[in-house]
Chain A
Amino acid sequence: MSVLLEISDLVTSYGKIEALKGVSLSVEHGSITCLLGPNGAGKTTLMMTTAGILRPKRGSIRFSGSEIAGRAPHAIVAQGVALVPENRLVFPAMTVIDNLQAGAYQRNDRAEIAADGERMFERFPRLKERSAQLAGTLSGGEQQMLAVARALMSRPKLLLMDEPSLGLAPLVVEEIFRIIAELHKDGATIFLVEQNAHLALKVAQHFYLMEQGKVSFSGTPGALAEDEVIRRAYLGSAKS
């Protein structure tokens, strides 16, 4: 398998405070890679820097061979990277359909966009029922699905997801993860931030653990489950 995203020695700071202190990791083509870590470890900062919303101070982000660190967000979307941001960030005063259209903003193939929209409605039937409704009136779970669908509308080569389960009911979270598994089966590459290690273990092939702005563990689900410290902190018990 080849490497699709390679981040090396990435530093991002807010004023004088460094939120990322030299992060290096890579995401393999066609894999689900999961990033674990406590609140404030810098996971969201890493996602926002990769998507171009935050500018890194140092380091490199190579995406399928070309450097994207510090480029504008729209240029990064054009390269084929889409982020499903933390807390969803849909367009609350726009309809569900317009949200999807906005996701396809950079594409010009009208017929194909319409076909992709139909595909989204097949994958997320709840969105179809609500297609003319304003996104701000949807439930949290529906908004999360809309955020995923919006990101997919740009036909990304890499899907970044920042805590898609945050604040959602267990049943909804399960549905989200079922969709993540489905997307993976269809060939998508996903880089996922998740606090819920139990769920992530079911889908991801590779894990990173981030603490205080640095990567402190890298390994397979097996290695993760065997690490005593991680097991205690993230899996809640000695058994898994």
Chain B
Amino acid sequence: MLFDLLQNTLDGLAMGSAYALLAVGFTLIFGVLRRVNLSYGPAIMFGAYCATWVHLNFQAGVLALALITIAGAALAGAYVERLCFAPHRNGSAIAAMVASFALWMQFEELVTLVMPKHLYDFPPMLSADPISFGPLTLPIEALVMLGCALAIGFGLQRLLYRSRFGLAVRAVIDAPVAAQLAGINVPRILMQVFLLASSIGGLAGYLIVSTHTQITPMLGMWSTLKGLLAMMIGGLGSLPGAIVGGLLLGVLEAHSQWFLGPQSRDLLAYLLLFALLALRPFGLWRARHAETRA
């Protein structure tokens, strides 16, 4: 029993770090735009399909596939920003969100046109044996995932608080008009944040498909939903919150899957989201000033 609990927690933390990465990208975009990008997951899926296509047609190493996924997601993210968010920057949030949904349709149809099979194999990251700590085992991939989530989390915190770019990003999040008056090129910062967020999402996407060793078009919807869920659990607009939210979601899912099965696992995740929204609408970690903006 105790063993199961520990093993589930470990597995949950591994998956949770992928959720955390997804949520971090989502949070960055939400922070600067106050808009939800439904095409966030589908852009990641697009990147992962680019890597799958390269894998099927050429010899490519693990690192190359990861970079292709990231680059594909960033490229798709830039396309979404230009068509859905740049035009609606001072306009309707609903229009921007629905436009991002429209591009989701495009990504999904595009990948099924080029690669019509429902499911493709994706090469695993490593083929090393899992590490064991006594009775507990942990695949190397899980360690890589945890490491990536922590590294990205700390790296972002440094970037935001120690660099000129970070200063501009925080200024745009805090008071967009004042940022313009301070001489910050806000449209350019928004584009750069979009590229950064989509790249982080791309990394998460690579880690996920290489762990599952397969890919379907459902990856798009899945990434958007998991990212949103983790972001909302952590409280909108807070990066540490997004990471904690992702890890929490992962652990919760692992336990409920073990004890209740996959359907109840999803049910519980949504129930948690619903209850949080109804009882604590600003998340477990209330972001500063979030209540005055959203």
Chain A residues with a Cβ under 8 A of chain B: 51-53, 72-74, 77-78, 82-83, 85, 89-94, 98, 101-103, 105-106, 136, 150-151, 154
Contact = CB atoms under 8 A, between A and B. Distances in A.
Given A91-B170, A98-B167, A98-B170, A106 B183 contact: yes
Contacts of B175: 89-92
Nearest to B171: A102
Contact of B164 (A78, A82, A103, A105): A105
B182 interface: yes
A92 B174 contact: yes
B185 interface: yes
A93 B289 contact: yes
Contacts of A82: 181
Contacts of B168: 102, 105
B191 interface: no
B177 A150 contact: no
Most A C-beta atoms less than 10 A away, residue of B173, B174, B183, B186: B183
Contact of A73 (B164, B167, B173, B181): B181
A105 B180 CA distance: 11
Interface of B: 164, 167-168, 170-171, 173-175, 177-187, 288-289
A150 B180 CA distance: 13
Contact of B182 (A52, A92, A136, A154): A154
Nearest to A52: B180
5 contacts: A52-B180, A93-B174, A105-B183, A154-B182, A154-B183
Contact of B180 (A53, A78, A90, A98): A53
A196 to B, nearest CB: 23
Given A105-B164, A136-B289, A91 B183 contact: no
B284 to A, nearest CB: 19
A85 B174 contact: no
Contacts of B178: 85, 89-91
Most B C-beta atoms less than 10 A away, residue of A53, A85, A93, A151: A93
Contacts of A51: 181
Contact of A85 (B177, B183, B187): B177
Given A90-B178, A91-B179, 16 more contacts: A51-B181, A53-B177, A73-B180, A74-B183, A85-B181, A89-B175, A91-B170, A91-B174, A92-B174, A92-B289, A93-B170, A94-B170, A102-B168, A103-B182, A150-B182, A154-B183
A98 B178 CA distance: 13
B184 to A, nearest CB: 5
Contact of A102 (B184, B186, B288): B184
A198 B44 CA distance: 61
B281 to A, nearest CB: 19
Contacts of A74: 180, 183-186
A73 B174 contact: no
Contacts of A72: 185, 187
Given A91-B175, A92-B175, A105-B168, A77 B289 contact: no
Nearest to A78: B183
A131 to B, nearest CB: 16
A72 B188 CA distance: 12
B264 to A, nearest CB: 40
Contacts of A98: 167, 170
B61 to A, nearest CB: 39
A98 B167 CA distance: 7
Contact of B171 (A73, A78, A94): A94
Most B C-beta atoms less than 10 A away, residue of A89, A92, A102, A106: A102
Contacts of B185: 72, 74
Contacts of B164: 105
Most B C-beta atoms less than 10 A away, residue of A53, A94, A136: A94
A18 B22 CA distance: 45
B177 A89 contact: yes
A71 B197 CA distance: 29
Nearest to A147: B178
Nearest to B164: A105
A93 B177 CA distance: 14
Given A93-B288, A98-B167, A105-B167, A77 B174 contact: no
A113 to B, nearest CB: 11
A52 to B, nearest CB: 7
A231 B11 CA distance: 78
